[in-house]
Structure 1
Amino acid sequence: MSSVLPRAAAPRVRGLRAALALSLAAGATLTACASRPRVDDPAGGPRPDARRAGVPGPLTEMTGIYSQMGLIVPRGDLPAVGTIAYFARSDDSTLAVLTLSLANRALAFVREGDRYRANYQVRLDVRPDASVAGGRVRSFASDEAVRVATFRETARTDESVLFTQAMVLAPGRYTVALAVRDIGASRSSVVDVPVTVPRLGAGTVSTPVLAYEVTPRARLDTLPRLVASPRAAVVFGQDSLVPVYLETYAAGGPEAPARMTLRTAIRVAAGPELWRDTVSLERRVVSVSAAAAAPLALYSGVVRVPVARAGIGVVALDVVRPAMDGVSATGPDSVRAPLFVSLGEELPVASFEEMVNYLRYYATPERLRVLRDTTPEARAAAWSTFLRETDPVPATAQHEGLREYFTRLRAANARFREEATSGWLTDRGTAFLAFGEPDQILDPNGPEQNVRGRTQVWEYRDPRVTLVFVDQSGFGRWRLNTQSQAVVQNALRQRLVK
């Protein structure tokens, strides 16, 4: 199954039925937002792969961040990220929903009339171990097509292609063998993931799921209608509240409380607390299975988690289901889910310290020192204060100053990288941060390459500035001359938010 999503629209599931035939599994593909593939340029001829130019080291190693978050990261030359969420179905089975995220740029698109199409294949083998009585290997295979309306959409860099597979499994331990293949380019990735399917009964909690769109299910024998984000990622400056879908289960009562806590650590039992709230989930229809000793009520809803309280980087969302009416949980009464707050796919900042480093050309050293010296427990408050005091237009929901700054920074990374140096830290990248796009670029040497002493002149009309870059090595290492260096540094000092 496939779907087409207009550019800049929210992801939307098409093809997933509201009710799940419990003897089968449902699969679907949707387009949301993504990365960059090899495609055929409509102007003619193949276009070479565009390599992401970003900050060297761990900042461009999103695989490490996703692994730290405990997500499914297949190995190979087709980038993908996945996650499995668990929901109650009955006393003797659990609904497991795998969602896989691919990027448009990771797939090879071809022209199809006035559109572009890419094809990929997903295969799952679910192998039970001895803990699953009477268990057997379950296999699922699906050939998928992604169609987009414009050539530009083939190069999207956000989470644009989502594949969903729902499975009804008995509680116990399994190995999930996942293989994903780009049919048009013969690229593939594989991974074997050990998983433990929980038994979800009275007093337990489902997996919290960060979702683009969600309609809470009303019955245990249906599939939640949600468009999940496997990367569990939100973008600073774009997202203010994170919608998280949650279910809990009980023997009765009009509503069920759940305690939500954001913490700065993901791998330890109790990191510093950033935010806390207690929510009440709405009671849905009571479901009774033939094997159930008592009716099981479903409580579900969407919780909005404030991004500003999370800061930047990987945080943990802990959910605890307090005991109700003295009923003990028959499974997990507390769960943990990761959340990654970034400055965008091009700047995957993994820590508060890295974020402060990025701001060196935005705010004064004094302001950054306050952020840098803040204790982990106080970082959320310090970051909130920084946003409030540096927002040039407080009346709007967006922070226009940081949005413009990071837009330029991303562009500098993409265009001006030099060997192991990030684009924004090169002389041309720094000049671009100070003045933006030049009105005119003069290159006296023309297209001739590898010429020592080659010069490049950037001219601006407002302000009236001329910058001269020299490539003394002949290998594209452009350096500002002394006079231009002083002009750029002076401009940056004037731009710093005090």
Structure 2
Amino acid sequence: MALALLVVNACAKPRPTGDPGGAAPVGAAAPGGAPGLPGAAGAPATTGDMQRLYRNMGLVAGAATLPFVASVSFLPSPTPDSTLVLLSLSLPSRALGFGREGERYVAGYVARVELRRGPTVVRTIEANETVRVPTFRETARTDESIIWQQFIRVAPGRYSMSVAIRDEGGLRNAAEDVTLDVPPMRIGALASPVAVYEAIPRQSADSLPRLLARPRSTVIFGQDSVLPIYIDAVGANAPARVDVRVVGEGDLVSWTNSIELQPRGNARSTTITIPVTRMSVGLNTVQMAIPGTPDTVRTRVLVTLGDDLPIANFEEMLSYLRYFTTADRLKPLRDAAPLQRAEVWATFLRETDPVPATAEHEGLRDYFGRIRTANTRFRDDAQVGWQSDRGIAFVALGDPDNIVDTGLIDPNARVRQQIWEYRELRVQLLFVDQTGFGRWRLGAQSRADLDNAIRRKMAQREQ
């Protein structure tokens, strides 16, 4: 996947440009443990839901006004009395306040990391960073377009780690405190697997790999072809091979391989490319083991439909689509065996794309856009906005051509009515707010009219 990532390296000490990468942190625990997966069944994730899902993966996720995701991984240093802690943090461009600077747009932020053992501050890193982009469009990106990375060498043990980000162009900030268990890394032991965009391996035990991390450890189903993961070990007894397997939904082992680690001085390493088509939609665990030993390292990765639509499993993905297309169109997806799902999904995308000549699927883009809008616009109607009566109508049919609200005619009326008119479909939907608190409901006849209108709308898309 080609990404124009804005990579920013912390300046606490000299090191190779582009270092740090991230994988699921071994030993990093979010406060309160690992929360459950997002929302009600079939409900798209809000920003808060996504942050909870990242925490469930073992990542550090800021949940305040400036959402960020950070991964921690552990690599061996030349001596077993210290461990390399690799912190990699990402945030979307749209989280920062950009301003014009000539023909470009510029934003600034401050990243701060503090490690403590009891009352003692072991290490503090603070970096003032500047991001410049050439177009306004770049300022609105939602992917992990800004990446900040740092290697820290510390003694094994338990630490308290504080990670904070502050937007210098506004008042937004976020901070998270986590417990960090730094393991001892014996000579020859495998490092944490590191999900990356790019990797240049270390050339010896006392050097650093040059990594462009994937802090969210996320790939997009149907778009990304492979997930690269970097792995290394140091010392004369570093393993020559590792056995790799991917465990997905229902503990299904979906991919296995035996990979050779290339010798580089007194270190061995490789970048493993795992086919996305061999992973389950939702959460997967990548396990790596030294053959003939119980030594196993692992990381969790997320396979999702898009950067802001993480889901728990394939069935949940299908529930998102119930107002997009017909049950007959979804049936091949429901019936597909796990290893065939990616291929069937690619066929589904091809057959439902309204503009095949473009790289983007405009139909799904607009559909999921309406879901996100409904969750905001109709959040008072139901626990999940898009599953409310007005939310369903909006997601399935789009904006009405005309809305008549009796409350605008008589503000003192206890019972309010809204009439949504869809002229092309020749339907009027009557929503009633019995309480005056904005909880709009369809009557029985209007619900039947909505069901019929949805079927007609889906039939139009099939033509």
TM bracket (short chain): 0.7 to 0.9
Change (3 A) 1:57 1:366: closer
Report the Cα distance in structure 2 between the residues aligned to 1:449 and 1:320, rounded to whole angstroms.
70
Report the Cα distance in structure 1 between the residues aligned to 2:267 and 2:56, rounded to whole angstroms.
32
- In the TM superposition, what whole-angstrom CA distance separates every residue of 1:104-139 from its partner, at most 9, and x where no partner exists? 222222333333322221222222469xxxx97121
Give the CA deviation at 1:65. Answer: 0.8
Aligned to 1:409: 367
The aligned amino acid for 1:126 is L
SS at structure 2 position matched to 1:230: coil
- In the TM superposition, what whole-angstrom CA distance separates every residue of 1:259-305 from its partner, at most 9, and x where no partner exists? 1111137xxxx933222111112111x2xxxxxxxxxx211221111
Give the CA deviation at 1:192. Answer: 2.5
Aligned to 2:35: none
Asked if 2 retains the 8 angstrom alpha-carbon contact of 1:105 and 1:157, the reply is yes
**Are 2:168 and 1:183 equivalent residues in the alignment?**
yes
Asked if 2 retains the 8 angstrom alpha-carbon contact of 1:55 and 1:423, the reply is no
**Are 2:225 and 1:263 equivalent residues in the alignment?**
no
The aligned amino acid for 2:175 is V
Report the Cα distance in structure 1 between the residues aligned to 2:410 and 2:224, rounded to whole angstroms.
45
Give the CA deviation at 1:238. Answer: 1.4
Report the Cα distance in structure 1 between the residues aligned to 2:186 and 2:288, rounded to whole angstroms.
16
- In the TM superposition, what whole-angstrom CA distance separates every residue of 1:329-374 from its partner, at most 9, and x where no partner exists? xxx9321101011111332212233112123245654776786688
Change (3 A) 1:358 1:260: same
Give the CA deviation at 1:220. Answer: 2.8
Give the CA deviation at 1:140. Answer: 1.1
SS at structure 2 position matched to 1:338: strand
Change (3 A) 1:271 1:487: closer
Asked if 2 retains the 8 angstrom alpha-carbon contact of 1:202 and 1:250, the reply is yes
Change (3 A) 1:27 1:195: farther
- In the TM superposition, what whole-angstrom CA distance separates every residue of 1:365-414 from its partner, at most 9, and x where no partner exists? 4776786688xxxx5225246336646469xxx99999455323212113
Aligned to 2:456: 490
Change (3 A) 1:186 1:413: same
Aligned to 1:381: 339
The aligned amino acid for 1:354 is E
SS at structure 2 position matched to 1:90: coil
**Are 2:45 and 1:59 equivalent residues in the alignment?**
yes
The aligned amino acid for 2:458 is L
Asked if 2 retains the 8 angstrom alpha-carbon contact of 1:98 and 1:165, the reply is yes
**Are 2:121 and 1:141 equivalent residues in the alignment?**
no
Asked if 2 retains the 8 angstrom alpha-carbon contact of 1:97 and 1:167, the reply is yes
Asked if 2 retains the 8 angstrom alpha-carbon contact of 1:314 and 1:339, the reply is yes
Asked if 1 retains the 8 angstrom alpha-carbon contact of 2:10 and 2:127, the reply is no
Report the Cα distance in structure 2 between the residues aligned to 1:156 and 1:402, rounded to whole angstroms.
15
**Are 2:93 and 1:104 equivalent residues in the alignment?**
yes
What are the within-5 Å matches in structure 2 for residues 44-443 of structure 1? 59-60=45-46, 61-74=49-62, 76-91=64-79, 92-128=81-117, 137-251=122-236, 256-264=240-248, 271-284=251-264, 286=265, 297-322=266-291, 333-361=295-323, 365=327, 380-384=338-342, 386-387=344-345, 390=348, 392=350, 403-417=361-375, 418-419=378-379, 420=382, 425=387, 441=401
Which range moved further: 301-310 or 416-425? 416-425
Aligned to 1:36: none
The aligned amino acid for 1:342 is T
The aligned amino acid for 2:371 is N
Larger helix share, 1 or 2:
2
Report the Cα distance in structure 1 between the residues aligned to 2:455 and 2:252, rounded to whole angstroms.
38
The aligned amino acid for 2:314 is F
Identity, in percent, stands at 33
Aligned to 1:10: 4
Which range moved further: 411-420 or 140-149? 411-420
Change (3 A) 1:467 1:118: farther
Change (3 A) 1:76 1:456: closer
Matched residue count: 424
Give the CA deviation at 1:150. Answer: 2.8
Asked if 1 retains the 8 angstrom alpha-carbon contact of 2:51 and 2:63, the reply is no
Change (3 A) 1:178 1:450: farther
Which range moved further: 177-186 or 311-320? 177-186
Which range moved further: 226-235 or 420-429? 420-429
Report the Cα distance in structure 2 between the residues aligned to 1:382 and 1:277, rounded to whole angstroms.
19
Give the CA deviation at 1:68. Answer: 1.0
Asked if 2 retains the 8 angstrom alpha-carbon contact of 1:95 and 1:168, the reply is yes
Report the Cα distance in structure 2 between the residues aligned to 1:413 and 1:199, rounded to whole angstroms.
46
Report the Cα distance in structure 2 between the residues aligned to 1:168 and 1:459, rounded to whole angstroms.
66
The aligned amino acid for 2:156 is P
Report the Cα distance in structure 1 between the residues aligned to 2:151 and 2:97, rounded to whole angstroms.
27
TM-score, reference length from structure 2: 0.75
Report the Cα distance in structure 1 between the residues aligned to 2:359 and 2:389, rounded to whole angstroms.
22
Report the Cα distance in structure 2 between the residues aligned to 1:421 and 1:481, rounded to whole angstroms.
19
Aligned to 1:44: none
Asked if 2 retains the 8 angstrom alpha-carbon contact of 1:204 and 1:248, the reply is yes
Report the Cα distance in structure 1 between the residues aligned to 2:303 and 2:212, rounded to whole angstroms.
19
Change (3 A) 1:425 1:166: same
What residue ranges of structure 1 are gaps of 5+ in the alignment? 1-7, 31-52, 287-296
Asked if 2 retains the 8 angstrom alpha-carbon contact of 1:264 and 1:273, the reply is yes
